[in-house]
Amino acid sequence: TQLLEQSPQFLSIQEGENLTVYCNSSSVFSSLQWYRQEPGEGPVLLVTVVTGGEVKKLKRLTFQFGDARKDSSLHITAAQPGDTGLYLCAGAGRGAGSYQLTFGKGTKLSVIP
- Residues forming the site for other proteins (CB under 8 A): 30-31, 33, 35, 40-45, 48, 50, 88, 90, 92, 94, 98-106
Q: In the bound complex, what is the minimum distance in angstroms from residue 44's beta carbon to other proteins? A: 7
Q: In the bound complex, what is the minimum distance in angstroms from residue 2's beta carbon to other proteins? A: 11
Strands 5-7 and 10-14: unpaired
The string of DSSP codes covering 12-45 is: EEETT--EEEEEE-SS--SEEEEEEE-TTS--EE
Q: In the bound complex, what is the minimum distance in angstroms from residue 8's beta carbon to other proteins? A: 14
Which of residues 85 and 104 has its CB atom nearest to other proteins in the complex? Answer: 104
Strands 31-37 and 98-103: unpaired
